[in-house]
Amino acid sequence: MSAESQEWHEFGRALRKSRKGHQITQRQLGELIGWADSMVSRWESGTLTPSAEAIEALDSALTAEGKLISLGLHAAMADGNRLRKGTVEAKASTRDEDDSMERRRLMRDAAVVAVGSAVAPALTALTDAWQVSQPPISGSSVSQAMIDDWEHAADIHEQRARFDPPAVILAALAVDYTSMAPHLGRAQSDAVQRDLAHAAARHAALIGGKWFDLGNHREAHRWWAQARLLSEQSGDSLLTSWLRGWEAGYRRQAPDEDLNAVLLVTREARRFAGDSPSASLVAALSEEAKVLAMIGRHAEATTTLRRTEETYERLPSAGSSRQGRALWYDRTLIYTFAGDVKRAEDARATAEKLYPAGHRSAILLALHGAALHARTDPAESARQALQLLEALPAERRDTRVMSASRMVVSALPDKAHGLSAAQELCALIGHRSA
């Protein structure tokens, strides 16, 4: 398929830069992935759209750690947005037909990344068939089953994000959001529009988080803005609060973010949650406490943490087990930043029992432990952190993991930066003070 778009030209430039960085020719790269060098040349020039299989092969062959996959998904989704807008001259029937064909292509290409090339065509066909078989709600283009399925999908994506690489989660999200998007632009009843916006807002927030993990902060902020718009359209202030807190949870991890600006986002989340006890209010207060701790306002952080705990205790049945686990994790992080060794160790001992091996939070807790003892035993702390990071595949070293690793380096005494483990750790996370 012909490309000729800014996004595919950007993909091509990144591909060329990566290939030259590996000091291989277009012919050699083509041989590595099983495609003709003429195809590689057209991909690099941005005049031809590579298939999802090709993008995945290129990313793997050039050890791009998901960067080419993320750029490819961005370009494919941009194509979809342009097609959905259509042109004034196009007939509605033709535009709908083209939109449907492009939507299926985007779903297939994203599914290739998420589930593999053999299963993807069947997945796309079955998804289309299932959606067509559901009777639409009167006056709307979607069925209740479709809306319920998208809500359920958001739950699954959120859970899998704690185990799977960001690029895989982003691809899976693209499949669902691409199937939702055409309905967002069509006339729906007020109730359906609210329910549809609710499901789409959750997906948009997750998409923003995965873009952030992949290092594309511009795209992340664009999708968080979309999540804010959709959540307000849903009329659910608790959802709006939850997604503001979700955004803050990612942004506080990045070294180039202004934490005072992120603090304002957490307080906006708290405002939307209101004063009555709710899971959204607990999440907003918790994020506010963590940002305060990171800024160094430890007394305020501890006070806000106590308010978080009190609010959680006032929830029906003491809130969800997942949020209860998260509170133990939050205590560990806040007390570690505050240098309160006893409370941090007690919280970590409890939290570690609540997360299975391989869960991202289990890895983060281990890094927090290394950070807590970095001043008293820098050699062992640096060694532990390095060992943890090296054991993770590169594609799983997401924003949160890198942030926790930087905590360890920042806690090391200046003289300890000369340790070989500390230097290797700094090199691995790109820490400038090494």
Six-digit token string for 82? 């342009």
- Out of 86-100, 144-158, 233-247, 337-351, the most confident range is 233-247
Q: Write down the domain spans for the chain.
A: 1-122, 144-233, 236-354, 359-434
CA distance 417 to 427: 11
How distant, in Å, are the alpha carbons of 100, 127, 219, 248, 348 from that of 254?
Answer: 38, 37, 15, 10, 23
Residue type, 16: R
Six-digit token string for 208? 């923003």
CB of 336 closer than 8 Å to CB of 327? no
Residue 260 pLDDT more than 90? yes
CB of 281 closer than 8 Å to CB of 269? no
Residue 417 pLDDT more than 90? no
**379 strand-pairing partners:** none
Task: Read off the pLDDT band of 66 (50, 70, 90).
Answer: confident
3-class state of residue 274 by DSSP = coil
Residue range 393-398: average pLDDT? 78
Over residues 399-415, the pLDDT tens digits come to 888 888 998 998 899 89
Q: Identify the sign of the CA torsion 354, 289, 298, 304.
A: negative
Residue 314 pLDDT more than 80? yes
Please give the radius of gyration of the chain, using alpha carbons only, rounded to the nearest integer. Answer: 23
**Per-chain mean pLDDT for the chain:** 84
Between 70 and 392, the higher pLDDT residue: 392
CB of 416 closer than 8 Å to CB of 377? no
3-class state of residue 2 by DSSP = strand
CB of 248 closer than 8 Å to CB of 400? no
Class for the domain spanning 1-122: mainly alpha
CB of 78 closer than 8 Å to CB of 5? yes
> What topology is assigned to 236-354 in CATH?
1.25.40
CA distance 202 to 192: 16
Q: What is the pLDDT of residue 124?
A: 65
CB of 289 closer than 8 Å to CB of 305? yes
CB of 111 closer than 8 Å to CB of 120? yes
- Neighbouring CB atoms inside 10 A of 321's CB total 10
Task: Read off the pLDDT band of 89 (50, 70, 90).
Answer: very low
Residues 6+ away with beta carbon under 8 Å from 29: 19, 37, 40, 58, 61, 62
CB of 196 closer than 8 Å to CB of 182? no
Over residues 201-227, the pLDDT tens digits come to 999 999 999 999 888 888 999 999 999
CB of 134 closer than 8 Å to CB of 330? no
Six-digit token string for 332? 């560990």
